[in-house]
A and B are shown apart, each in its own frame.
Chain A
Amino acid sequence: MRALLDWFDDRTGARTLLRAVLFERIPGGARWRYVWGSTLTFAIVVQFVTGLVLWASYSANAQGAWESVYFIQHQMLGGWVLRGIHHYMAQATIILLVVHLMQVVIDGAYRAPREVNFWFGLGLLLVVLGLSLTGYLLPWDQKGYWATKVATNIAAMTPVVGESLQRLLIGGVDYGHLTLTRFFALHAGVLPGLLVLMIVGHVYLFRRHGVTTANTKDAPDGMFWPEQVLRDGVASLAVMLAVLAVVWATGGADLGAPADPTEPYAAARPEWYFLFLFQWLKYFPAGLEVVGAHLVPGLVFTVLAAMPIIARWRWGHRFNLATLAALLVTMAGLTRLAMIQDGADPEYAAATAESHAQAERMDILVTAQHGIPAAGGLALLRADPLTQGPRIFSTHCSGCHRVDGLDGLGGTPTDTQSAPDLAGFGSRAWLEGMLDPEQFGSPAYFGGTSHRRGAMSRVVERRIANYDDSQVAQLQRVIKALSAEAQLPSQALLDASDSREIEQGRLDMSSESIGCTDCHVFHGVNQEQRGPELTGWGSRTWMLGMLHDPGHADYYGEDNDDMPAFGMDEILTEAEMALVVDWLRGVWVREGDDATAQSRGDDVGGT
């Protein structure tokens, strides 16, 4: 064995190299304050290890990035821990870099002959910031997408070359596949390569010049191995444990809803260590962005880089100390200000809450599908009535209609309500209100429409208002029968248990004392149709037909008031109409549902 090792050493010099690495002499002995560089190296090694494994499961394209990260986060064994470590160790790296920089400046360790090494360190800082900037986009979720849009637009503000630079960065004029492939090439190839080169140069120069010592003249010298290595190891373990604790406490890194250029994301913020720049940009009014985004940061960085030279002057070192302190205090202040402003902004809070809700919604949708369909995560979200229904309603319906008095998204429309509130449309409660003489003419029903003066209003306000007890009992059965036509999932159990009453109610509808079928068609009973067809009233098919063309003879016919023909006039697509109808009817995938069961012919029960 020994002979083999000797042979290997002879051919490669491995033992000599190892000794050279380990038996570095440390004047004044090993110290805790020397651990920062080593913990930083450790943090970067962790990023390489976790990054490579993430790479093995990641797909850099617009139709697979979010999906593959979802897989890593939710389905891969230990994936959330792996991704969490990579995410939070990146932040730890930034902290360690800043601490290291502070230490170097405070100790004056940038002085001759260590200037070049100081510049290597600044280069490292830039590369690490570049890594976090490019890494932010890779999950291709709303947060990364919109935050990176801002970042690349700021790059485009660079005088002269800005727009070309932006195009080269994002691989064209729009964000897409090439943006991801390019960012990934930077994140996993170019920047780590630079990082390795700089670390090698940095460590080589460090070994060449030795550790910067202070006040250690009397202390005996020590050795890198094992005294300092032990301290470095303990410090690295502490960093690792701290990161693990954060991963554990937060449940890992966030993954928002898939990136969607057509949906706003009001909580777009950069990672916390860029917040100061984000806040900084708020203070540069029209036309001065270049000053805020390029000139000032460029100047600050130039001063940082010039520190070893400035330090040659008599007060240079103190100037550097003051500059660094002012810089750090300003950055901390701006960061704090950004956090305070966001904390006091209800819209930001709402946007953050909505983004979390959407992430959870994606989880429910994917789970119900037993995976992400080939069309991708965004397609799944775009086909979700619970997500899209309110949006479509808000844009296209809330000008006249309401849902619980609001526009569907929780806002209050400015237009006066001129059509019924559709919350619970088709349900017994909705019908009871509509057939209530007190409510028919209210804004919540037909008060804002021409039907306020129509035939139905006379029925409700004159006849129903004077119903005797037996007619009231009949009307209750009619309500149950008509509501059963809607086949609302939320009422399925009630409809089933009241089947006998419903049967009777159907007969009551064409009875002389109630007489719905005097005007309406109901399961083929009627002579002349004057009001909307009541067969299947409130069902999916009925509502889609109404949306398609309310002026059709089966619906309002010539009596149609202001309701647009959403389908016939191609205002909405079939898919959009189905989304809003399903949402109004309460039909959407719920937690624990199996969305694939229906297509397999299973009984899905409630939904």
Chain B
Amino acid sequence: MECPQLHKSGRNTNLGPGTTIEPAGLPNEESTLRLGFVFRLSPTRRPSIRVQLHPPTQYTTAMDEETQNPPVQPRRTFLAGMSAVFVGTVAALVPVLSGATSLLDPLRRKRNEAGMSRVTTLAVLPNDGTPKKFTITADLTDAWTIHRDAPIGAVYLRKVGEDVHALNVVCPHAGCFVGIAKDRPGFTCPCHKSSFDLAGVIDDPASPSPRDMDSLQVEVRNGDEIWVRFQSFQAGHTVKTPVQ
């Protein structure tokens, strides 16, 4: 037995060179998408691709029944339809909202309070103003783990006369680790070649960094102890905004 609808296909528009011609006398069935209309296919026939969309069963499904006995009360159908959409949406909203809430949690997280960290002493810094890299140690909360006195970042320190200047090692361009230049006094980022002088000021107009290296607050306490307020700043902007 064959389904009569097969022959009454709606649009048959696609007859370009790519059209699939159905083998063995089956009509060209390209663009109909009528789920559930076809049943009782002849097993000897080579099926066309759209057959997979139809439940190849000999049993009447709930869907078929509905189609065979179309509803007689349009208003009730409309109400039922609206209710179905409403009930379904409400039910689906619960997991979606719950999931979205938790996913958005990082937006309310704050960075660990940026306190002053004791880094080193004056005696260690070269008098000629050569920068040295130092690791900043502090307590670090990483989600469920607390690292006590862990290395959390690095700074360049250098003596400028009696003062000490501190620069965050992270490039304000895209966040790579800026290195001390080997060919001149200054810093170069190994990624996109941003170039800074010893004070962290951009020294090459072609430098892709939007701003100078980020300086940090330094205090010399008890005569020779160097303390730094270690902070990170949002990369990629001309304005230096702390990440909080």
| Residues 61-92 of B at the A interface (beta carbon under 8 Å) | none
Q: Say whether, besides A174-B142, A399-B125, A414-B128, A286 and B209 are in contact (CB < 8 Å).
A: yes
Which residues of B are found within 8 Å of A62, using beta-carbon distances? Answer: 142, 145
Q: Say whether, besides A208-B30, A266-B177, A285-B206, A27 and B21 are in contact (CB < 8 Å).
A: yes
Does B134 lie at the interface of the complex (its beta carbon under 8 Å from any beta carbon of A)?
yes
* Residue of A with least CB distance to B129: A414
Does B118 lie at the interface of the complex (its beta carbon under 8 Å from any beta carbon of A)?
yes
Does A522 lie at the interface of the complex (its beta carbon under 8 Å from any beta carbon of B)?
no
Q: Mark A366-377, 1 if CB is under 8 A from B, else 0.
A: 000000000000
Q: Say whether, besides A168-B104, A261-B152, A213 and B17 are in contact (CB < 8 Å).
A: yes
* Residue of A with least CB distance to B132: A395
| Pair A414/B18 contact, Cβ less than 8 Å | no
Which residues of A are found within 8 Å of B179, using beta-carbon distances? Answer: 264, 266, 347
Distance between A8 CB and nearest chain B CB, rounded to angstroms: 12
Distance between A206 CB and nearest chain B CB, rounded to angstroms: 10
Choose one: A167, A289, A411, A562; the contact of B107 (CB below 8 Å). Answer: A167
- Give the segment of A156-164, A248-256, A423-431, A513-521 that binds chain B: A156-164
* Residue of B with least CB distance to A282: B192
| Pair B121/A571 contact, Cβ less than 8 Å | yes
Distance between A195 CB and nearest chain B CB, rounded to angstroms: 21
| Pair A167/B49 contact, Cβ less than 8 Å | no
Separation of A304 and B14 alpha carbons in the complex (Å): 25
Does A512 lie at the interface of the complex (its beta carbon under 8 Å from any beta carbon of B)?
no
Tier of interface size on chain A: 35 or more
Does B111 lie at the interface of the complex (its beta carbon under 8 Å from any beta carbon of A)?
yes
* Residue of A with least CB distance to B122: A564
| Residues 114-154 of A at the B interface (beta carbon under 8 Å) | 114, 146, 149-150, 152-154
| Pair A19/B46 contact, Cβ less than 8 Å | yes
Distance between A344 CB and nearest chain B CB, rounded to angstroms: 12
| Pair B17/A149 contact, Cβ less than 8 Å | no
* Residue of B with least CB distance to A149: B175
| Pair B190/A347 contact, Cβ less than 8 Å | yes
| Residues 134-155 of B at the A interface (beta carbon under 8 Å) | 134-136, 140, 142-145, 151-154
* Residue of B with least CB distance to A178: B143
Separation of A150 and B103 alpha carbons in the complex (Å): 23
| Pair B236/A154 contact, Cβ less than 8 Å | yes
| Pair B41/A16 contact, Cβ less than 8 Å | yes
| Pair A172/B143 contact, Cβ less than 8 Å | yes
Which residues of B are found within 8 Å of A113, using beta-carbon distances? Answer: 13-14, 16
Seen from chain A, the residues whose Cβ lies within 8 Å of a Cβ on chain B are 10-11, 13, 16-17, 19-20, 23-25, 27, 62-63, 113-114, 146, 149-150, 152-154, 156-157, 163-164, 167-168, 170-174, 176-178, 207-213, 217, 221, 260-268, 278, 281-287, 289, 347-348, 351, 382, 395-396, 399, 411, 413-415, 562, 564, 569-571
Closest A-B pairs by Cβ, 8 of them:
A264-B177, A266-B190, A176-B142, A13-B56, A177-B143, A157-B236, A153-B175, A564-B123
